[in-house]
Amino acid sequence: MTERTRLSLQQKIELLDKHATGHYNQKKLGEWAKQAFKLSKPLRQQTISDILKKRNEIYGNIIVKESSKSLRLPRYPQLDQEITKYVADQNAAKRPVDRNAIMTYIKYVAAVKYRIPEGEVKFSDGWLTKVFKRNKLKSRYTYGESASVDITSENIQSEIQKV
């Protein structure tokens, strides 16, 4: 059985750029890729042909991060933007940001603002982890007594404003 070789998006772009110079046919590109990407064997001609056919899709995809191996985009990129904005707003206000707060917020926004039907998106820990990875976000879990305090209640907010 043959070993499958998966190229990253950046590697595919390098291969396309090398092909655009006009000095390499598909067989020579396979040899070049073996050396440049430290592969165990040259890329097959069919693999290179498939990459060349998808040239416009590869070059035109600006949302996908360079380290991705897939061109698959999030189904609802607006939810990624909402989470990024929410985390930035919370950090600017010096409020703790934890995963539970983000999940509660994004479920509300998805239902009310974007009218995404319930069950359309699985708001799982894995989903949120992927959103964090795509957008380079971090959350901080609140430990100890501070985790049990509801900082949104009016009494606490009035006490904070006095300080």
Whether the full predicted model's pTM is greater than 0.75, yes or no, is: no
**Residues 93 and 135 reside in one and the same domain:** yes
Q: What share of the chain is helix, strand, coil (3-state, %, to 5)?
A: 55, 0, 45
The answer to whether residue 95 sits within a structural domain is: yes
| Predicted confidence (pLDDT) per residue in 2-44, tens digit | 677 788 888 888 898 888 888 889 999 999 999 999 999 999 9
**Residues 17 and 47 reside in one and the same domain:** yes
Domain residue limits at 27:
9-60
**Residues 49 and 92 reside in one and the same domain:** no
**Residues 86 and 141 reside in one and the same domain:** yes
Residue pair 10/67 in contact by the 8 Å Cβ criterion: yes
Closest CA to 49 of 11, 3, 12: 12
Residue pair 71/126 in contact by the 8 Å Cβ criterion: no
